[in-house]
Amino acid sequence: MRPGVLIVFYTLVVLLPLALAWLRVSPPRSLLDELASGAGLLAFAIILVEFILSGRFRSISGRIGMDVTMRFHQLLARTALALALLHPFLYRAPFAAQRPWDTSRELTLTDEITALSSGALAWVLLPTFVLLSVGRDQLAYRYETWRLMHGLGAMLIAALVLHHTLSAGRYSQDPALAGVWLVMAATALLSMLYVYMIEPLLKLRKRWGVVSVRPIALKTWELVLEPSGHDGLAYDAGQFVWLNVGHSPFSLNENPFSISSAPASGKRIEFVIKDVGDFTGAVGRIEPGTRAYVDGPHGNLVIAGRTEPGIALIAGGVGIAPLLGILRQLRLDEDSRPTVLVYGNRVREQIAYPDELDALARDHGTKIIHAVSEPPDAWMGHVGMVDDGMIREAFGSPEMKRWLYVLCGPPVMMDIVEDCLIDLGVPAHQIIAERFKYD
């Protein structure tokens, strides 16, 4: 399915409850009462589709990119929140018992306490939930805690709103609309069951074992896994997986990491992991032989099938991991296209695999441009971050407009580089990117 079709499909699904409410023949109410109902219908539809936009479904994230999927998930949560917050304040009809002659509830809103309290509780929980999600980096709770809170919180809010909608909603008394809500809620629930129950069950048959863990740069580790009794993972260079090391496949202790090995190098898969706390802080203590599980491959940082005449890889910090996979695959494929790697780090000691990069430059002709923002005294390379000036200097020649650009790094660097490349005349479809963070 093409990205445009997915977006149209998304819009139609979100608008479906509103369309069914439209078709229901009911006596008219005031504009504000109708806006209140409509806002509620839209907010709930968006909330339910958010479960599918969680980034774990390759049929979606594989087509529009994990970055775009997650960004949409986050942005649309804000839309749902705004509509949900407005919903109760727009009503003008009074809360009262249903009058016998008012079968369509034209004149009153329900005054049943259970129907209202589920909505009120969801109304309080939703902004708390969105704020905790938006500010999760500032709040610095463990990633696993965050995932548990986010999953359980989302299901609780969806269940409360479903109860409120089916018991208090004027339009949702219609069997067709009630049926649509139940189908959408069941789909959301199934998506959670798939991610947290079915996928882990499938992973039980595809165990991996840790082969080695070794330091390769300052606070940066290489982790190598090999498949235990299966054929390994069919992936493209540049993709990532959700990695679980030393825990049950049902554990929430799994984190996304890019694969730094090349598919053509064999069944083993390698990762470059930077120590930034949580799981990554303990990676150096992982013993060989430890059991591991992977969920993937995910991500669209893939150059297989691309025919551009040159390839530019631009990495910031540990963003080198997927680009290493691509570089290694290009070397194994004996790809003769010109290749340039721009690699930014804070200090020289953070440069991963410096000897391998030197060998790539020497034997494969890959041009390597390092940028270090806190250089040692004898540093001869670029000083500073990967910035606009550096990109213009490296990729300013006219023939490079036709190259493929692959970006992975911190959001600020990515925004600067992407804007600069567009300004240099590189078409957007020749720039593929993956971010560490989505907010």
Residues that bind other proteins (CB under 8 A): 7, 10-11, 14-15, 18, 21-22, 28, 31, 34-35, 38-39, 42, 65, 67-68, 71-72, 75-76, 79, 414-415, 418-419, 421-422, 427-429, 431, 433
What are the structure tokens assigned to 208, written together? 């991996």
Q: Specify whether the CB–CB gap between 411 and 433 falls below 8 A.
A: no
**For other proteins, the closer CB: 39 or 330:** 39
Q: In the complex, what is the shortest distance from the CB of residue 42 to other proteins, in angstroms, rounded to a whole number?
A: 6
Residues 6+ apart with CB under 8 A from 179: none
**For other proteins, the closer CB: 23 or 201:** 23
CA 224 to chain centre: 24
> In terms of C-beta density within 10 A (0-12 exposed, 13-18 middle, 19 or more buried), how is residue 2 classed?
exposed
Per this entry, what is the length of the chain?
439
DSSP bridge pairs for 295: 242
- Cα separation, 70 vs 55, in Å, equals 6
Q: In the complex, what is the shortest distance from the CB of residue 54 to other proteins, in angstroms, rounded to a whole number?
A: 17
Q: Which of 372, 392, 388 is nearest to 380 (CA)?
A: 372
**For other proteins, the closer CB: 239 or 366:** 239
CA distances 114 to 77, 119, 126, 163, Å, are 26, 9, 18, 9
How do 339-345 and 311-316 pair as beta strands? parallel
**For other proteins, the closer CB: 185 or 433:** 433
Q: In the complex, what is the shortest distance from the CB of residue 35 to other proteins, in angstroms, rounded to a whole number?
A: 4
- Cα separation, 68 vs 78, in Å, equals 16
Q: In the complex, what is the shortest distance from the CB of residue 265 to other proteins, in angstroms, rounded to a whole number?
A: 30
- Cα separation, 235 vs 262, in Å, equals 9
**For other proteins, the closer CB: 70 or 195:** 70
Q: In the complex, what is the shortest distance from the CB of residue 19 to other proteins, in angstroms, rounded to a whole number?
A: 8
Q: In the complex, what is the shortest distance from the CB of residue 174 to other proteins, in angstroms, rounded to a whole number?
A: 14
**For other proteins, the closer CB: 21 or 323:** 21
**For other proteins, the closer CB: 371 or 426:** 426
Instruction: State the Cα torsion 130-139-57-192 to the nearest 10°.
Output: -70
Q: In the complex, what is the shortest distance from the CB of residue 383 to other proteins, in angstroms, rounded to a whole number?
A: 26
